[in-house]
Amino acid sequence: MARLNVIRSCGNMKLHKFFLVFNVLDIVYKVVQSVDGHAQGFVQEGSDINGLVDGVLAQISEPSAVSSSSPVSFADLEDSSTNMYASPIAFEPAFMDFKSQPLSMPVRRRVVVKNLSPESSIEMLSISGSTANFHCSFFQEKRISPGGNTSFDIVYLGRQRGLVENILFIHTSLGSFKYQVSAFGKENPYRLRPFVGVRMPLNSSYTPLIYMHNPHSSTIQLTEIYTSGGDLHLEVPDSGSKVTKELWEIPPYKTKPVMKANFVSRIEKNHTAFIRIKLNSTNRVDLILPVEVEVVSLPGIFSPMEVLDFGVMHSQDEPRTLPVLV
């Protein structure tokens, strides 16, 4: 079976890999030296950054520990102690609520950071957080002059239904400040779902089919599907078929398999990748499927299916049975 990293409806195959690494040597009291282009990455201390969607999406890792010699963080002080201090920065909006958004459809919002001091400049160092649903760009400007401002983008890419809340840490030369984000994940209108919570042994493969539904009254045409690279590849649903225009045509209100993902577990660690789907829709629709796989070397019982999906059923439908493979 041929493996495809990029499959276009014209039959051409092209590998798309986005891999962006930032190496921060000194985080305290210095300006981070990042790549050209202020919105290409998400700076993390000692972390590898995998960018997607024009560099706006990036993996957010756990916030790094702050040493005792780090500057005071106004946001981390107890309420009884904050009265003697005035926060040197302000956020607009004060917190970010994405409200209700479909899973696997990224939504971008902008946050403005204001320097309230009339005398001192502020160095914007990095952003960190322990969340998989929210992603950040870097600051538009790394240095805020007195009374000035800068901005950064937050992208919500939902992985599970329901309310999600988290805290982003904005690291500056004056300390670290908390910024609250929240969103409510709802069902994807194309019935696409993230592939998360997968656990598998070394030297095995995970090959879920990607089913897509057409919620529109006219036929939709997929034009491109590709991955962020690594050990995640794409294959046609049927090994004997070829990529044709008809394969990626979905009639109105129909559901069909459009591609098969193939992840090979070569290294023991937690893997994260993305699958992006493009349509010929006049309205720009971003469809990005997160893929999260934990590869372990310990013996155990594993299932190649991370979830049993019975699809949409009505009260008068016949019982539906799905096999459980281990």
Closest CA to 166 of 206, 120, 129, 123: 129
The pLDDT averaged over each successive group of 10 residues in the chain (326 residues) is: 43 36 30 30 33 44 35 44 63 96 94 93 91 88 94 93 94 93 96 89 87 93 86 83 83 93 87 89 80 82 62 75 66
The whole-number pLDDT of residue 94 equals 95
The pLDDT assigned to 10 comes to: 43
For residues 249 and 204, membership in a common domain is answered with: yes
Specify if 320 maps to a domain: no
Using a CB cutoff of 8 Å and minimum separation of 24, what contacts does 139-144 make?
Answer: 139/38, 139/113, 140/38, 140/39, 141/38, 142/31, 142/32, 142/34, 142/38, 143/31, 144/89, 144/113, 144/114, 144/115
Tally the domains of the chain.
2
- State whether 175 and 209 are in the same domain: no
Residues 114 and 150 in one domain: yes
Domain contains 215: yes
Domain assignment of residue 106, yes or no: yes
Give yes or no: residues 50 and 175 share one domain.
yes
Q: What pLDDT is stored for residue 282 in this prediction?
A: 64
Please tell me the predicted confidence (pLDDT) of residue 298.
75
Instruction: Read off the CATH number of the domain in which 179 is found.
Output: 2.60.40.10
Strand partners, 51: 58
Are residue 214 and residue 245 in the same domain, yes or no?
A: yes
DSSP conformation class of 248: T
Distance between CA 192 and CA 145 in Å, rounded? 45
- Residue 46: the pLDDT is 31
- Report the relative pairing of strands 209-213 and 134-136 from DSSP bridges: unpaired
Q: How far apart, in whole angstroms, are the C-alpha atoms of residue 176 and residue 19?
A: 27
pLDDT at 7: 43
Whether 325 is in a domain gets the answer no
pTM: 0.69
CA torsion through residues 41, 47, 51, 57, sign: negative
- Tokens 């310990």 belong to 298
Are the beta carbons of 26 and 33 closer than 8 angstroms?
no
Give pLDDT, residue 14: 37
| Domain end position, chosen among 140, 157, 186 | 186
Q: Is residue 25 part of a domain?
A: no
**Does any domain span residue 109?**
yes
- Any domain includes 222: yes
**Residue whose structure tokens are 């590709």:** 226
- Regarding whether 181 and 203 lie in a shared domain, the answer is no
Tokens of 250: 């979905």
What confidence score (pLDDT) does residue 43 get?
A: 30
Element (H, E) at 81: helix 79-82
Residue 177 shares a structural domain with residue 214: no
Q: Domain range holding 281? A: 195-296
Q: Is 324 exposed, middle or buried (0-12, 13-18, 19+ CB in 10 A)?
A: exposed
The answer to whether position 239 is within a domain reads: yes
